[in-house]
Chains A and B, each alone.
Chain A
Amino acid sequence: MIPSSFAYAAPATLRDALSLLAEHPDDTKVMAGGQSLIPLLKLRLASPAVVVDISRLKALGEIEETPSAFRIGALVTHDRLLGDEAITEQWSLVRDAGEELADPLVRNRGTFGGSLAHADPAGDWPAVALAADAVIHVQSQRGAREIPANDFFTYLFTADIADDELLTHVELAKPLPGTVTAYVKIDHPASGYAVAAAGVSLTIDASGTCRAARVAFTGVATTPLRSAAAEQTLEGSTIDAETIQRAVDHAADGINVIGDGYAPVDYRRHLIGVVTGRAIRRALDRRNCTPDNHERPHT
């Protein structure tokens, strides 16, 4: 189908963009890569009066590295992020997720910021942001805010970002020593989106004890979210086969799992455990330190 008509603006500066958003916040849509917005417009699930195309805001397309963090501009494309070796070497799950996200065409246009702002309950980057404790920076004429990923995704396709705010960049702290990460996704054969996916980050000290664990899911609930139960199971423990099994068994605890014709609730709840176990093992494999008696994940 063809979208209903709308006014189009492509501001050249952040200031202009923010002032356009301030004008008619509730009737304006930001467009970054358009890979989610354009389908919505075409299906007429969204019919904004004004579309503000932010692709000319070059400053939002940069990746900056500081001694302690990566600052990823909102307009950095999936492909660009996937190809950034400094980031993917330290955060392996970025490469895992990026390689499984859509196809090369979409990855060339779709943006990291757009993906987070869109807050698709099955989006891949949201789970990565959660597992990596990313901090999301937004700005409006009213000022700037920063929101920890864990507080950002509030409901189906809804994030803590106001209509007049623009997501400008995401801060990804460099991982603590001993951190290994991985992302494992089971995709839907039609959409390619996650039926269930897990991003994990484990910080393991020299004695083999897990000091910090992040286990985040997407595709399984009304928002991408973390599993407190799995994280608690892992933190403070030696990550052996038994611990992994406990994390798998409890991964879905407290999660209001969604079901559909392709993956009913019970099955999806089970998959949460499957991707949890696989992601933990994949992360551990990267530590060159495999726990006793486990099989290599086959994904």
Chain B
Amino acid sequence: MTSGAQVAQEPATSTEYVGVSVPRREDFRFLTGTGTFSEDITLSGMLYASVVRSTLAHADIVSIATDAARIQPGVVAVFTAADFGDDEMGTIPTDWELPIMDGIPARYPLARETVKYVGEAVAVVVAETRVQADDAAYFVDVEYAERPAVVDAELATRDGAPLVHDQYERNTSYVWHLGTGDWDSMAAAADHTVDVRLVNQRVHASSLEARVSIADYQVGTGILTLYLGTQNVHVVRRNLSIAIGIPENRIRVVTPAVGGAFGSKLCLYPEDVIVSAASRRLRRPIRWAETRAEHFTGTSGGRDHIEQVSLAADKEGKIQALKVTTYANLGAYVSGMGAGIPVVSGMVYPGVYDIPVADVDIHGVYTNTSTTETYRGAGRPEAAYLIERAVDELAAKAGIDRVELRRRNFIQPHQFPYSNATGMTYDSGDYEKALDKALEMIGWDDRVAEQAAARAEGRIVGLGLSVYTEFCGFGDSFQLQLVGFDRATWEQSVITVTRTGSVIVQVGIDAAGQGHETSIAQIVATELGLDIDDVEVLQGDTDVVHFGTGTFNSRSMSSAGTSAALAARKILAKATRLAAHMLDVETDDVVYRDGVFSSGPQPEGRQVTFEEVAVEAWRGVDLPEGMEPTLKEIAVFDPPNFTSPFGVHVAAVEIDPDTGAVRIDRYVAVDDCGNQINPQIVTGQIHGGVAQGIGQALYEELAWDEEGQPMSTSFMQYPVLRAHHMPRLETGHTVTPSPVNPLGVKGVGESGAIGSQPAVVNAVMDAVRHLGVDNLDMPLTPAKVWTALQEASR
């Protein structure tokens, strides 16, 4: 047992780490400032890049004058698109092109004829120091011919809207239909229908560490090394290879410690290609480090969907049909997985409810804004918000208690695996159980009674809940490739046992603070019956781990955790055979426990230790017939389906009638991520996710004015949640194992961000609906709430 661990029950054996809150081994270096982040890396002879960016949302580039910048002190080179051919700096590939899209618009790392959003890279200055590069960048003079811009996805689909891309007749990139059945006839026959328009605004992860990219092209070997904070070194390697024409086997991508990513560091960015091409040209390493303003304007944000939602229900409130039209803002280009997110969002619009008919149209739309991408939850927060807001509206309109209405519509445990009307299969679930637990934790009935008393005093109080399910662990690969998903769904792990019996695990995921070094080590140490300190987990370097798919969609435990467990099982099988050989017994007679193989039940039998077996395997002199030397195994796990975490979040709020400010008085989250590897990490993930969900519900919005000028370029305007904005979180869990992987894990990285925004907004709506406010869009700023209350009281 590791000291300081919190254990609910004594584990079965001393190497049973799964399910135990082992302290995160990463924390020491992160909390003591001894971690290495990208910008901590300085290479000899390194140059520094500063990027010149578009100041207009849409314009033709008339000319770029670089002469004055070139003669500034320390400047080594100034490059524009004209300096590179397609073979040296080609377009940036995406990872998800839906089959119905008419191609994707070419996105060159440095803009060619036109710029399409404020912040798009136009030129790069490379100098001996960072300051010299920044200074000289002011001397690059770009002349633009401004064009009309459009920033709102719905407006961009209207006739006459300015076109973002000349080669297309419309800004609509695709309209994807999901669902089966006939909405019209269901709606005509329904006793209750509701119709709501929701805006899920653009938000930004705004990680503490912005992006950094360091390229080092070695002319002697022809190998390019790129250091950057990313969630998937292998995807970066592939896409960079396509963009700059260096084969993948001569590109090394390294991600050191990452100071937050949340989906915003999944795609290949223009600057990664720019520094790579420039390093190859100049034959010197080059570092580019993003400023906060560049981060807000250039690094992808998430969400930005406008949705028209309708539900049709019978007399009892049983929902018969769902209809949705969504306008999803892709931004000016298609970034990474950006095009697919709105579509998979649609696949969970029905949420936890057994709704027979769905009619969903999703419009992916180009605008003159920065690109949208995965952001914590990527599609599922939008879906949960949509259905949970609509269900509350239905309950209010039908006069049915919202808890009861939900119970009547839940998919029942016996229905799993359950295929919903929009084409998603949920692996397992037990929503009643989670709901009961959450209601008990908050004391729902007492809170309802208190609320009535508070309202009688004139206070504005509300209670809200959300029940969500989502999908994690990206699989199955066949279905996903049908919809154009161009990433792998499998994950690989390689385990090597050294001569001294210590264990190296190489995994193809790349953590950005999730604690995977600890949780993967827990899995492997448990499988191998070893002390956790004997297991080291390596990731984030394509020269160390040759293959992988990366960390996103809360897939790391279900995919890499599983492949690590499977590789460990292969190691143990081989070691057991060798131990039997050493002990001179049949393999089946060997008993293994806590690092010791015995010829029979311990402690009587003869014994060899794991370390002794490792030595024997390494020497390779006296091995069983046909056995190769060394203990080294690879396992690749391709999940047969998504996993479906679920949960229930409940919030109690009070609104200050004078200012409209919302205060969260209680917050209960009950989440089910299947089996838990490390409960403390699970709870930590919920805390972080809830913080980001509350941030979206109450504070955050990445906005542009009508001309496409960004309104948030710093933490002075963009309100990331501070400690004092957070309520105390009361967390609980239920455990419904996943049937789609042998560990029974589902994933928990995003759940908190999915359950929270609808719970908070439903609580606020509950507080104000009876005062005459019928809709509010996030963020629920004090001004917005106060104004709505004023208007309702008129």
Q: Chain A interface (Cβ within 8 Å of chain B)?
A: 1-2, 4-5, 43, 186, 188-191, 261-264, 266-267, 270-271, 274, 298
| Chain B 684-723 interface mask (CB, 8 Å, partner A; 1/0) | 0000000000000001000100000001001111111010
B715 and A2 form a contact (CB under 8 A): no
* Interface membership of B130, Cβ < 8 A: yes
* Interface membership of B783, Cβ < 8 A: yes
Task: Choose among A4, A190, A191, A262 the residue that contacts B783 (Cβ–Cβ < 8 A).
Answer: A262
Query: Measured between alpha carbons, how far is A264 from B659 in the docked complex, in Å?
Result: 13
| Chain B 715-741 interface mask (CB, 8 Å, partner A; 1/0) | 111111010010000000000000000
A190 and B717 form a contact (CB under 8 A): yes
Name 10 interchain pairs, CB-CB below 8 A, sorted by A: A1-B134, A1-B293, A4-B135, A5-B131, A189-B719, A189-B725, A190-B699, A261-B703, A263-B783, A267-B783
Task: Choose among A188, A270, A298 the residue that contacts B786 (Cβ–Cβ < 8 A).
Answer: A270
Q: A1-B291, A264-B783, A267-B787 are in contact. Are A190 and B716 (CB under 8 A)?
A: yes
Residues of A contacting B717 in the complex (Cβ-Cβ under 8 angstroms) = 190-191
Q: A1-B291, A5-B131, A267-B786 are in contact. Are A262 and B781 (CB under 8 A)?
A: yes
Query: Measured between alpha carbons, how far is A4 from B139 in the docked complex, in Å?
Result: 13
Majority SS at the chain A contact face = loop
B783 and A298 form a contact (CB under 8 A): no
* Interface membership of B594, Cβ < 8 A: no
Query: Measured between alpha carbons, how far is A145 from B131 in the docked complex, in Å?
Result: 40
* Interface membership of B658, Cβ < 8 A: yes
A2 and B711 form a contact (CB under 8 A): no
* Interface membership of B486, Cβ < 8 A: no
A190 and B718 form a contact (CB under 8 A): yes
Residues of B contacting A1 in the complex (Cβ-Cβ under 8 angstroms) = 134, 291, 293
| Chain B 654-674 interface mask (CB, 8 Å, partner A; 1/0) | 001011110000000000000
Task: Choose among B130, B660, B699 the residue that contacts A189 (Cβ–Cβ < 8 A).
Answer: B699
Interface residues of B in 245-274 (CB under 8 A from A): none
Query: Measured between alpha carbons, how far is A274 from B714 in the docked complex, in Å?
Result: 28
Query: Measured between alpha carbons, how far is A238 from B209 in the docked complex, in Å?
Result: 56
Q: A188-B719, A263-B783, A267-B786 are in contact. Are A2 and B703 (CB under 8 A)?
A: no
Smallest CB-CB separation from A297: which chain B residue? B658
B703 and A271 form a contact (CB under 8 A): no
B776 CB, nearest partner CB in chain A, Å: 15
Query: Measured between alpha carbons, how far is A5 from B291 in the docked complex, in Å?
Result: 18
Q: Chain B interface (Cβ within 8 Å of chain A)?
A: 130-131, 134-135, 291, 293, 656, 658-661, 699, 703, 711, 714-720, 722, 725, 781-783, 786-787
Most buried by B among A5, A189, A262, A270: A189
Residues of B contacting A2 in the complex (Cβ-Cβ under 8 angstroms) = 130-131, 134
Smallest CB-CB separation from B130: which chain A residue? A2
Task: Choose among B291, B659, B711 the residue that contacts A261 (Cβ–Cβ < 8 A).
Answer: B711
Residues of A contacting B720 in the complex (Cβ-Cβ under 8 angstroms) = 190
B345 CB, nearest partner CB in chain A, Å: 27
Query: Measured between alpha carbons, how far is A2 from B659 in the docked complex, in Å?
Result: 39
Residues of B contacting A298 in the complex (Cβ-Cβ under 8 angstroms) = 656
Residues of B contacting A264 in the complex (Cβ-Cβ under 8 angstroms) = 783, 787
Query: Measured between alpha carbons, how far is A97 from B39 in the docked complex, in Å?
Result: 38
B656 and A271 form a contact (CB under 8 A): no
Residues of A contacting B715 in the complex (Cβ-Cβ under 8 angstroms) = 190-191
A186 and B134 form a contact (CB under 8 A): no
A246 CB, nearest partner CB in chain B, Å: 17
B659 and A186 form a contact (CB under 8 A): yes
Query: Measured between alpha carbons, how far is A264 from B660 in the docked complex, in Å?
Result: 13
A263 CB, nearest partner CB in chain B, Å: 5
B656 CB, nearest partner CB in chain A, Å: 7
B725 CB, nearest partner CB in chain A, Å: 7
Task: Choose among A191, A263, A271 the residue that contacts B716 (Cβ–Cβ < 8 A).
Answer: A191
B294 CB, nearest partner CB in chain A, Å: 9
A274 and B725 form a contact (CB under 8 A): no
A190 and B659 form a contact (CB under 8 A): no
A298 CB, nearest partner CB in chain B, Å: 7
A118 CB, nearest partner CB in chain B, Å: 15
Residues of B contacting A188 in the complex (Cβ-Cβ under 8 angstroms) = 719
B133 CB, nearest partner CB in chain A, Å: 10
A193 CB, nearest partner CB in chain B, Å: 8
Residues of A contacting B293 in the complex (Cβ-Cβ under 8 angstroms) = 1, 43
Query: Measured between alpha carbons, how far is A95 from B718 in the docked complex, in Å?
Result: 28
Smallest CB-CB separation from B783: which chain A residue? A267
Residues of B contacting A270 in the complex (Cβ-Cβ under 8 angstroms) = 786
Task: Choose among B658, B711, B787 the residue that contacts A274 (Cβ–Cβ < 8 A).
Answer: B658
Smallest CB-CB separation from B699: which chain A residue? A189
B108 CB, nearest partner CB in chain A, Å: 25
A178 CB, nearest partner CB in chain B, Å: 28
